[in-house]
Structure 1
Amino acid sequence: MKLAYLAPEIPALSATFVYNEILALSELGHEIIPFSVHKPIMPATDKHLDALRSKVNYLYATPKKHVFFSHLNLLSKKPIHYLKAFTECVGDMFKVNILSRDALGLFYRFFYAAKLAQQLKDNAIQHLHVHFAHVPTDIAMYASMMSGISFSVTAHANDIFERGLLLDKKVERSSFFATISDFNRQYIQQTYQVDPNKLEIIRCGVDSRVFTRKSSTTVSSPVRIGLVGRLVEKKGIDTLISALAILKSQYSDFIVEIAGSGPLQEELQQQVKRLELNDKVVFLGPLPHDQVVKFVRALDLFVLPCKRDKQGDMDGIPVVLMEAMMVGTAVISSRISGIPELVIDEKTGKLIEPGNSEQLAAAMLELIKGEALRGALISHAEKKVQQEFAQDINAKRLETLFAESIGNQ
């Protein structure tokens, strides 16, 4: 198949699952043309991405006069398709309040959709797949109408819980609408009253050839605790730091490494200083994805105590949890969103209530001291990821859905 992929940023350090999915489908023999709304603010720099990076089309970097000519071209060659897209866009603008910023945003994205539609036609694309149900899906659904080429979506977290503009329409217009967890699927169905037959679950997968199991589960001295993630509220890193102060009073032989950057870095560093944990916590900054496997394999505990932020956003199922589980590092996370579908408490990891630092400290201590429990959790965790969250399994599921979408056009 000849497919196009669209995401907010390709290849981005914060969305490795997008380019890994593209690479997995390419390995299955399909040709993928990647489109990105923006140039990545924090690009993934792995050398094996050079070929992909050279093929990416950045929509918002296209000169506006070129986009305008795409509109003229589509209007002259596919007037019915073009006018349908324009009519739907105007209708959508009225639905969200024609005088609102949302309406203006929709029209702006309709403008760039013409460039995408033109590229889809010029490249003989059979189907367009989109990651994230907000801005890129706005562009994709209008480009699909203009070009007559089907599109589908994978929704994740923020794009559902906080930025679900016209989500019911997006489900209706797509050939299928996937999301990464059963939690998300139920939330979409109940909140937006959409056709459940349109909804699919496609996990963000992990490449088991890269994230291979380490040989030993014995803890280090000092015990190495860590995480990889953006330094934002929903990751719950403040909960971890508070838990470390409690843990230190009961067990002091540990070191914590936090890999990532973000707006809360200074605030979190101040929290570490205030709780007198400077000798225990190290902020490593952003970590290239090709170094993540080495980092998570070296840890004894991977701790990501996710929570809902003040805007209502929360993680879906963080891929880095799967990566840690795949290499044989014990994980602790929170009972929130789709995480319990991956981290099953007392079976594939430990779960705490979001924001509960006392529970987190107790869970860390239990896994540090409980060698038998830690070994059992690691073994079950690896099997869980291999069976349900492996990249090749989910790429083949997408392959089937894409073929059906193309056949139904």
Structure 2
Amino acid sequence: ERAGIGHLAHDGGGGRVRLLSVGRLVEKKGYDDLLPALAALPESLHWDLTHVGGGPLAGKLKEQAASLGLGARIAWRGPLAQEEILALYRQSDLFVLASRIARSGDRDGLPNVLMEAQSQGLACLATAVAAIPELIEDGVSGTLVPPGDPARLAGALAALIADPDQRARLGRAGQARVRGEFDMNRGIDTLDSLFRAGGANTLAGSL
């Protein structure tokens, strides 16, 4: 039944697949794209989402979730200590981050939450924006979709929720990549160059 540290081999048809997203509730994180993508998932799929993080759009996004009928499926946890977030990475089945470029031009560099999730063997679904494709190779060490495209995001979510073997494979590959090429001992120069390429929103600013 287990696919990793605490990652369950559920396919969404019986056991519930546990989705996780960690990030501030701001425009560049694309949560207003993620919510309609979740609402578009087939009713036959069983899943829930835990969100970690605060931000100025919290009220608006919770209202959007309720209007889409997602209120019972989403746990808004707010800001948590790093130890609690680490436990959630280990207990979840799929990490999702729908980053995009905000209208102001604000964007993520290389979100550290993706590296944290991968380090725990958690399969990641993200958008191909900024430096994220430098970390995640689509179909190899994670899944990438275009930013700002809820329909494509929904399709990728449905496929991964229904395929625990694929989640396990992507989780293992992502873990190997982040612990190898991107680890802080051997890859600090690589990480620094990626952060700079992606702009100023790096470790501290990308939650």
Q: Does the TM-score normalized on the shorter chain lie above 0.5?
A: yes
CA-atom RMSD in angstroms: 1.9
Offset of 1:343 from its aligned partner? 1.2
SS in 2 for 1:389: coil
Matching residue within 138, 150, 170 for 1:377: 170
Query: Residue 335 of structure 1 contacts residue 354 of structure 1 at CA under 8 Å; is this kept in 2?
Result: yes
SS in 2 for 1:392: coil
Q: Structure 1 residues 335, 396: CA separation in 2 closer, same or farther (over 3 Å shift)?
A: closer
Structure 2 gaps, min length 5: 192-207
Alignment TM-score, normalising by the size of structure 2? 0.83
CA deviations on 1:218-256 (whole Å, 9 max, x unpaired) are: 138321111111111111111111111001x34341111
Q: Structure 1 residues 379, 397: CA separation in 2 closer, same or farther (over 3 Å shift)?
A: closer
> Residue 344 in 1 paired to residue 145 in 2?
no
Moved over 6 A (4+): none
Alignment match, 1:304: 97
Matching residue within 226, 244, 252 for 2:38: 244
Q: Structure 1 residues 257, 246: CA separation in 2 closer, same or farther (over 3 Å shift)?
A: same
Query: Residue 54 of structure 2 contacts residue 79 of structure 2 at CA under 8 Å; is this kept in 1?
Result: yes
Alignment match, 2:197: none
Cα distance between partner residues in 1 of 2:180 and 2:72: 40
Cα distance between partner residues in 2 of 1:336 and 1:216: 27
Alignment match, 1:9: none
Structure 1 gaps, min length 5: 1-212, 399-409
Alignment match, 2:50: 257
Partner AA of 2:137 in structure 1: I
Partner AA of 1:214 in structure 2: I
Offset of 1:370 from its aligned partner? 1.7
Offset of 1:371 from its aligned partner? 2.7
Query: Which one has the largest radius of gyration?
Result: 1
Matching residue within 214, 230, 244 for 2:5: 214
- Identity among equivalent positions (%) equals 36
Cα distance between partner residues in 1 of 2:97 and 2:121: 16
Cα distance between partner residues in 2 of 1:371 and 1:274: 30
Of Structure 1 and Structure 2, which has the larger fraction of its residues in helix? 1
SS in 1 for 2:25: coil
The alignment of Structure 1 onto Structure 2 pairs a total of residues equal to 185
Q: Which has the higher contact order (CA 8 A, sep 6+)?
A: 2
SS in 2 for 1:256: strand
SS in 2 for 1:287: coil
SS in 1 for 2:37: helix
Cα distance between partner residues in 2 of 1:351 and 1:396: 24
Alignment TM-score, normalising by the size of structure 1? 0.43
Query: Residue 251 of structure 1 contacts residue 365 of structure 1 at CA under 8 Å; is this kept in 2?
Result: no
* Residues 149-298 of structure 1 mapped to structure 2, 5 A cutoff: 214=5, 216-219=7-10, 221-247=15-41, 249-298=42-91
Query: Residue 7 of structure 2 contacts residue 92 of structure 2 at CA under 8 Å; is this kept in 1?
Result: no
